[in-house]
Amino acid sequence: MLAVLSPGQGSQKPGFLSSWLDLPGAEARLRWWSALAGVDLIHLGTEADADEIKDTARTQPLLVAAALLAAEHLPMYDVGLVAGHSVGELGAAALAGVLPAEAAITLAGVRGREMAAACAIKPTGMSAVLGGDADEVIATIEKHGLHAANRNGAGQIVAAGALEDLAKFAAEPPAKARIISLSVAGAFHTPYMAPAERALGAVAGGVTVADPARILLSNLDGAAVIHGREMLQRLVRQVTAGVRWDLVMRTLRDLGVTGVIELPPAGTLAGLVKRELKGDGAPEIVTLNTPDDLAAARDLIARHGTVSTHEPTPAFRVVVAPSAGVFRPADGLDEGADVRTGQVVGQVVTRQGPVEITAHGAGVLTEWLAHHDDPVAPGQPVARIGGLLQ
């Protein structure tokens, strides 16, 4: 299986979109998206300096636009899984078919502006914590009134909160940990961003969504999200919720991902994956930064992607497990039974409790793909429903 990853804020580099403008239609596409985002994406991606593209209101739509622009030149129909880090999740949702590209760009513009405004309310910031025992790091973060905004795996956790609390935290760091102050506008993915979450939610409520066409992993818990409306709610909630990229990478391992492409500006997520998913079975990675990298990315998809027959879509859908655990089918639900939209067809028993699995279309339960007490991973097919009604 191949995964395409969309990076988040902090991965941007001055001029990183310059070479992409040479591709047919790229400049026109970016001008259209600039009108939706309310920023000049061409200027930001080609001429702006590091300070200008560090501005949250500009960075967020720029990153989503870059990922979507590059993905237009890939055979995405052969890609089985997508995920994005922080604002990159908007790009991933569009690549999964949950959002139109125009909606993802528009929401990224709103998200960036509103988060920048929230940062101005009170002096806040973020600090990277490298090394140390993860449980001790989290406990020390919370002891100082801070929040674990990002848990990126590979020994990296990001603390966020008020500047005075970050200073005290740096003066009393966890054992064997190194703390690096990050040059960011404020405490992203914490309750300090609540005004931005409300503003984004007000706009997102009018967006038309679809269910994912491929596995889409969520930053919230690393789970595969199977309903478009739920994904939209998670995208809004993500503004104040911590990013659990460590759990996303765990799911990549559980699903046996063998190939990874990071969209531009690439490098950050590829580095995390390389450090976390090492050893036997480590995925082959391509960092897609310029059009010159497209050939390698297409080759990776050809070797690790799904097989596309280009035939009409069959009249059935596969229901997948939303999280890791033990599968339990619904009592009395047998193959051949009619299933209605929203009906609970089973549950995944996790350490945190049972998670319901619902049908996102009406039809006939044609086949169980997992059975009682089978261990399942997020995104693993558990049932096939045929003859879906519109």
360 catalytic residue (yes or no): no
Instruction: Estimate to the nearest angstrom the gap between the alpha carbon of 167 and the chain centroid.
Output: 30
**Rg of the chain in Å (alpha carbons):** 21
Kindly name the residue from 144, 189, 304, 360 that is annotated as catalytic. Answer: 189
Kindly name the residue from 6, 11, 34, 86 that is annotated as catalytic. Answer: 86
Taking every pair of Cα atoms in the chain, the longest distance, rounded to a whole number of angstroms, is 64
189 catalytic residue (yes or no): yes
Spatial CB neighbours of 191, under 8 Å, sequence gap ≥ 6: 147, 240
Q: Residue 149: count other Cβ atoms within 10 Å of its Cβ.
A: 26
CA distances from 173 to 11, 135, 169, 170, 183 (A): 26, 13, 6, 5, 19
Which residues belong to the active site?
A: 86, 189
